[in-house]
Amino acid sequence: MSAIAFRLNGRPVTVEAGGGRMLLWVLRTDFSLTGSKYGCGSSLCGACTVVVDGEAVRSCELPLESVQGKDVTTIEGLEHGGRLHPLQQAFIDHGALQCGYCTPGMLMSAYALLKKRPGLGREAIAQAMEDHLCRCGAHGRILDAIAEVSAKGGRP
């Protein structure tokens, strides 16, 4: 069996290929990176979102094979040396979470979004986040948090 090699939160890793596995379960099971959540398993909620080569993708339906040679960042990779990413800090400051289950996915999407399109306004952010679900109804504060970082040019 061949192996799939990729960078995970900056570290090179390899996983045995085969079996039609999805990245979410590899992250959660093989690496115990449990920050990425299962919410629907069908790319409908966004709880499992990770960033692959700069793009926010839903890991619940992302075949492991497709990350061969790529750079994967999960919520656990957002903080650097104990320093929170400005988005994480903004989520805390704005109270942009309640149960927190959607939070990692929200943050990873926002992270990829602002990297690609810095300075985006609240309205455009809302559009880009449209397919992320939050049952607790933290939407308004999530947008406030992302918009604040966006306005500041949000770099770690």
Partner 1 sequence: MSAHGLDRREFLGVLGGGIVVFVSLGPSSLDGQQPRLRYPEDLNAYLRIDEKGRVWIFSGKIEMGQGVMTSQAQMAAEELGVPLSSIEMVLGDTDQCPWDMGTFGSMTTRMFGPALRAAAAEGRAVLTGLASKKLGVSPDALVVENGVVYVRADRSKKVSYAQLAQGKKISRLVDGKAVLRATRDFTVMGQSPKRMDARAKVTGHAEYAGDVRLPGMLYARILRPRAHGATLTSVDVSAARALPGVTVVQQDDLVAVLHADPEAAGRALMDIKAEWQTPPAAVDQDSIFDYLVQRAPAPAVRLMKGDPTAARAAAARVFESTYRSGYRAHAPMEPHTAVAEMKDGRMTVWASTQTPFPARDAIARALGLPATDVRVITPFVGGGFGGKSSGRQALEAARLARITGKPVQVAWTRGEEFFYDAFDPASEVKLASAVDASGRIVLWDYQVYCAGDRGTELFYDIPSAAIRTYGSWGGGAGANGHLFAVGAWRAPGANTNVFAAESQVDIMAAAAGIDPLEFRLRNTSDARMRRVLQAAAGAFGWKAAPGPSGAGRGVACGIDAGSYVALMAEVAVDRKTGHVQVKRVVAAQDMGTIVNPDGARMQMEGCVTMGLGYVFSEEVRFHGGEILDRNFGTYHLPRFSWVPRIETVLVKNDEVAPQGGGEPTIVPMGAVVANAIFDATGARLYRLPMTPERVLAALPPKA
Chain residues 18-57 in contact with ligand FES, contact rule CB under 6 A: 38-41, 43-48
In a 10 Å sphere around its CB, with 0-12 CB exposed, 13-18 middle and 19+ buried, how is residue 105 labelled? buried
The residue (of 20 and 82) whose beta carbon lies closer to ligand FES is: 20
Query: Are 43 and 60 a contacting pair, CB within 8 Å?
Result: yes
Q: From the list ligand FES, partner 1, none, which binds 6 (C-beta under 5 to 8 Å, kind-based)? A: none
What phi and psi, each to the nearest 5 degrees, are found at residue 140? -60, -45
The residue from 3, 92, 99, 151 that contacts ligand FES (CB under 6 A) is 99
- Say if residues 72 and 11 touch (Cβ distance below 8 Å): no
Mark residues 61-100: x for contact with partner 1 by CB under 8 A, - for none.
Answer: -------------xxx-xx----x---x--xxx-x-xxxx
Contact between 19 and partner 1 per CB under 8 A:
yes
Smallest distance from ligand FES to CB 12, Å: 25
The answer to whether 145 and 91 are in contact (CB under 8 A) is yes
Q: Does 137 bind partner 1 (CB under 8 A)?
A: yes
Q: Restricting to residues 101-120, which ones interact with partner 1 according to CB under 8 A?
A: 101-104, 107
Contact 6, 71 (CB under 8 A): yes
Nearest to 87 by CA among 10, 8, 150: 150
Establish if 29 lies at the interface with partner 1 (CB under 8 A). Answer: yes
User: In whole angstroms, what is the distance from residue 52 CA to residue 73 CA?
Assistant: 6
Closest approach of partner 1 to the CB of residue 73, in Å: 11
Residues forming the site for ligand FES (CB under 6 A) = 38-41, 43-48, 58, 60, 97-103, 134-136, 138
